[in-house]
Structure 1
Amino acid sequence: MTDGLMVIYNQLNSNEIIVSHCNGRIKFYEYPETADASKPFIVIDPLDVPGPVVFASNENHANEYLYQIDVEASNRLLVKEIQREIKKELKKIGFGQLKDGLDEYFKETKRFVDARRYQGLIKEEVL
């Protein structure tokens, strides 16, 4: 079975701009409270379970995935730059951005957050 989180994680880590700003700070589901929040970070959060969509000979060959990817940082323009790079990388693997999302400034943490939703197909490894 293909791990959609790792497919996206590895794709994001192939981008020099993302790595230069978020190296070691790309997490799944939530960002740990004890982690370094003084620098930009990314959270990849699945919004649904993978759904089978492509079949051949009674075998599932691809699943549809839905993720929300959050970027947080104290610099608003840096958040936008990182999200732009994320969008480019996800497009390379067949994911498209959906219309819902979040663009906010949190006074409590003094951080900007840009959360975008992406949907796409990932081919399954068929044995």
Structure 2
Amino acid sequence: MNILNIIRTLILEDEFLKSELDNRVYFYETSKNADITNSFVILTPIYDEPKTTVSDNYLSEEYLIQVDVETYHHQKTIDITKRIRRLMWENDLLPASSKLDMYFKETKRYVMSRRYQGVPKNQYYKEKHID
């Protein structure tokens, strides 16, 4: 299971976020070809660990994911961050530690960074998994 693809899909299937971000949801960092002229999101996995064990095997994984929202407008940063928080909540990924709310003069962008932790809703192993 690729948690980054799951979260990216959740974000891009939301009408509000799709209109604000288009397809600007990146993994780990932006590439030099990435479109950073408008709002964008960077997803970074922090860790994953086995959960929900049955007969010496686990059926799911718990994740800790960092979501960075970067925009040129403070209110837009807040709105996108709150909508993502709601989507994460609806999918059993709850707010965890570490928050960053900053304005970076060098890039002239507002950045809000949040971490979410949990077992994503309806994301259990149905086939053989790799240990």
TM-score range, shorter chain: over 0.9
Alignment of 1:110-121 (within 5 A): 110-121=108-119
Give 5+ residue unaligned stretches, structure 1: none
Please report how far the alpha carbon of residue 46 of structure 1 lies from its aligned counterpart in structure 2 after TM superposition.
Answer: 0.7
Aligned to 1:107: 105
State the superposition RMSD in angstroms. Answer: 1.1
Deviation string for 1:59-93 (max 9, x for gaps)? 21111100110000100000000001101111111
**Structure 1 counterpart of 2:44, one-letter code:** D
**1:46 matched residue in structure 2:** 45
Matched pairs, number: 125
TM-score w.r.t. the length of structure 1 is: 0.93
**TM-score for the superposition, normalised by structure 2:** 0.90
Structure with greater strand percent: 1
Shift of residue 126 of structure 1? 2.7
For structure 2, the residue ranges without an aligned partner over 5 or more in a row are none
Q: Residue 39 of structure 1 aligns to which amino acid in structure 2?
A: N
1:66 pairs with one of 64, 67, 70: 64
Give 1:37's aligned residue.
Answer: 36
1:95-126 Cα distance to aligned partner (Å, 9 max, x none): 00113111000000100000001101133323
Q: Deviations over 1:40-65 (max 9, x none)?
A: 000001112x1002111222111110
Q: Percentage identity across aligned positions? A: 30
**Is the Cα–Cα contact under 8 Å of residues 12 and 23 in structure 2 kept in the other structure?**
no
Please identify runs of 4+ aligned residues in structure 1 that moved more than 3 A. none
